[in-house]
Structure 1
Amino acid sequence: MSEQNTRATAGPSSKAATYRGAVRMPATCGELAQGALGGVHFHVSCPVDMYATIEVELDPRLEDITADAGHAKARAACEAALADIGGKHLGGKLTIRSPIPRAKGMGSSTADVAGAIYAVGQALGIVLPPRRVAELALEIEPTDGSIFPDVVVFDHRQGLILEALGPPPPLGILCLDFGGEVDTVEFNCTDRSAALRETEPATRRALEFIKDGFALQRPDLIGAGATLSAEANQCILFKPAFDSVGRFAEDIGALGVVAAHSGSILGILFDPGRCDGRQLKVLAHRTLPTLRVSYLHRITGGGARPLL
């Protein structure tokens, strides 16, 4: 068992007992920034208030973890967590209910995988630190910083960078889906080191803006940094609608544009105290002819929300 884990209770002792855990995990709207610094990958998480619910029921009478089709990675995460905390003898059922669109860059896989790990820990009465959850998740695939509370700077490939920025100031976000899907795992397997070196000055400046924005609780600086990073990412993963979204955001006085740097989603950051999000959503669909679906949310903190 990892020394980083903290046992909260011994858990049920009866061999016939089942152990249950359930958490909610947030979606993301891409990343506030993403790139590489000195060859080390990083992103700034952008969790939003859309949630997947992940439940596990563990049973010592069963040998395997079962899950619905499409959740093989989350099932593997359950098994990894059980192995890590001394529960390899347990089988059970993993259930995921998620409204998060897949293959868009909205953190659906991280929500499933990290949620499964957190839920296993909860079921066994063990508090798994977010850093350990991230380590286990990274063994399965690149992982979003939405695993951690608040907003963080995180190395989504190796976990070498982790810096907490704190809670976000009030920020609304309109997530924009113009169609298309990106396989994040395949995307991250492609060597883009030359392009990342070329965009490093811009992404470094974007990160400085965002850090200052969190330190000073200045949404305008966060928006400026997000826009700069999204623009730099156009040479890595081009989005045909980016320019029109940028013009629209400028015309309405929005704070900036967010991109899924390894996905297809875009987002418009706005001040919820000065802009009616519902009116913005209507206007976006009138103005952007190729827009298919939009999701109106607020940026929130990351991390698991226990349900039991």
Structure 2
Amino acid sequence: MEAISLYPGSAGEIIQGKVDGRDILISCPVNMFTRVRVYECDNPEKRFQHIKSSTLLENMLNRWGYGHLNSTFDIEIESNIPLGKGFASSTADLCATYICLLKLFYRNFDIYEVLKEFLRIEPTDSIIFREMTMFDYKSGSFYKGVGEYIKFYILAFEGERTIDTVTFNKSKLPSLDDISDLYTKVQEGITNKNISLIAAASTESINRNLKRVSYDVLGHVDALKDITGGLGIIGAHSGDMLGIIYDDKKKLEFALQYRDSIKGYKSHVLETLRRNEYERNYDYIAVERKR
């Protein structure tokens, strides 16, 4: 008895801040993946290398009345999503683990248990939704669909620092700025398929969060954006990653000559995933939008 699932990460957040007094974020899935295998065995050992996924497995079995089976399941995880850098690796692991359990126990995806059980473990990224969603990532008490995921390209730069999401969000941080204007801009960009508006909002969101998290190479990335025809900057609001947004794959390909130009930073060539892509090509199951 076993199940396997793939789930994508994200490239930081498009925007993060306060809207109507709530701490929210909006993000997109990208073509980095975690592969999770949950299977029966007599002596589970590998799962304890993955504490968050192991905790979710135990909590879900208890929730569903199968707690007595906890010691009979192990977890294997293979991933090309960098850990602790802002690519939503933990959210991807939790989602893939959860989907494996749905398959094993013939259950349906339930948004309420997803939000409750994931947030018991850590703040969660909005890639759990099937469309771009404004999401209260700390309490899960609010989410609002913005529109279908939209295609754009990213040259991302990953730094050496590792940031633990749980520790970061529990630390004494400056309050997030109001980004109601940026949310409106993203909403308009999604409606009109205008990547420039989305990129402008993302860039400003990074600038407004500098008091919470610093980026040593922001100036360098901004200069590369201008040289290569990028539209804006996207980044991790609790991680060490910045990326340049492109609406044209040829511009991204031109930018690749600069991919090794930032010393100490690893580069990633990424693209966002639209719903038809991840549902057709990757065993990606996420929450349906509910009003």
Q: TM-score range by the shorter chain?
A: 0.7 to 0.9
* Conserved? CA contact 1:25–1:115, under 8 Å: yes
Residue 235 of structure 1 aligns to a residue whose secondary structure is: coil
* Conserved? CA contact 2:13–2:27, under 8 Å: yes
Counterpart position of 1:227:
203
Whether 1:191 and 2:175 are equivalent positions in the alignment is no
Q: Distance in 2 between matches of 1:243 and 1:117?
A: 40
Q: How far has the Cα of 1:157 moved from its partner?
A: 0.7
Match of 1:212 among 147, 166, 188: 188
Q: Can you list the C-alpha shifts for 1:50-97, whole angstroms capped at 9, x where unaligned?
A: 1101111146xx5x8643453011100111111222322222111111
* Conserved? CA contact 2:153–2:247, under 8 Å: yes
Q: Can you list the C-alpha shifts for 1:223-256, whole angstroms capped at 9, x where unaligned?
A: 1111110111111101111122112212322121
Residue type at the aligned position of 2:160 = G
Structure 2: tracts of 5 or more residues without a match? 286-291
Counterpart position of 1:306:
283
Counterpart position of 2:31:
49
More helix by share: 2
Residue 210 of structure 1 aligns to a residue whose secondary structure is: helix
Cα distance change, pair 68–86 in 1 and its aligned pair in 2 (3 A): closer
Q: Distance in 1 between matches of 2:61 and 2:100?
A: 11
Counterpart position of 1:14:
none
Alignment of 1:234-273 (within 5 A): 234-273=210-249
Point out the structure with max Rg over C-alpha: 1
Match of 1:136 among 96, 114, 117: 117
* Conserved? CA contact 1:178–1:292, under 8 Å: yes
Q: How far has the Cα of 1:144 moved from its partner?
A: 0.8
Alignment of 1:146-161 (within 5 A): 146-161=127-142
Residue type at the aligned position of 1:217 = K
* Conserved? CA contact 2:13–2:26, under 8 Å: yes
Q: What's the TM-score once normalised by structure 2's chain length?
A: 0.88
Cα distance change, pair 301–131 in 1 and its aligned pair in 2 (3 A): farther
* Conserved? CA contact 2:32–2:80, under 8 Å: yes
| TM-align CA RMSD | 2.2
Match of 2:57 among 78, 97, 115: 78
- Corresponding residue pairs, total: 279
Q: What's the TM-score once normalised by structure 1's chain length?
A: 0.83
Q: Distance in 1 between matches of 2:60 and 2:28?
A: 25
Residue 254 of structure 1 aligns to a residue whose secondary structure is: coil
Q: How far has the Cα of 1:117 moved from its partner?
A: 1.5
Q: Distance in 2 between matches of 1:291 and 1:224?
A: 27
Cα distance change, pair 129–103 in 1 and its aligned pair in 2 (3 A): same
Match of 1:281 among 252, 256, 265: 256
Structure 1: tracts of 5 or more residues without a match? 1-17
Q: Distance in 2 between matches of 1:56 and 1:283?
A: 40
Counterpart position of 1:8:
none
* Identical columns (%): 25
Residue type at the aligned position of 1:73 = K
Task: Decide which moves more: 173-182 or 130-139.
Answer: 130-139
Q: How far has the Cα of 1:291 moved from its partner?
A: 4.9
Q: How far has the Cα of 1:257 moved from its partner?
A: 0.2
Q: Can you list the C-alpha shifts for 1:94-134, whole angstroms capped at 9, x where unaligned?
A: 11111111110111111112221121111111112344323
Residue type at the aligned position of 1:283 = Y
Counterpart position of 2:154:
173
Q: Distance in 2 between matches of 1:204 and 1:237?
A: 20
Q: Can you list the C-alpha shifts for 1:177-230, whole angstroms capped at 9, x where unaligned?
A: 1321111111100233x532xx21xx2222111111111111111111111101
Counterpart position of 1:9:
none
Q: Distance in 2 between matches of 1:95 and 1:74?
A: 10
* Conserved? CA contact 2:155–2:269, under 8 Å: yes
Q: How far has the Cα of 1:278 moved from its partner?
A: 3.4
Q: Distance in 1 between matches of 2:156 and 2:99?
A: 27
Counterpart position of 2:6:
24
Cα distance change, pair 290–47 in 1 and its aligned pair in 2 (3 A): same
* Conserved? CA contact 2:48–2:54, under 8 Å: no
* Conserved? CA contact 1:22–1:307, under 8 Å: no
Residue type at the aligned position of 1:97 = E
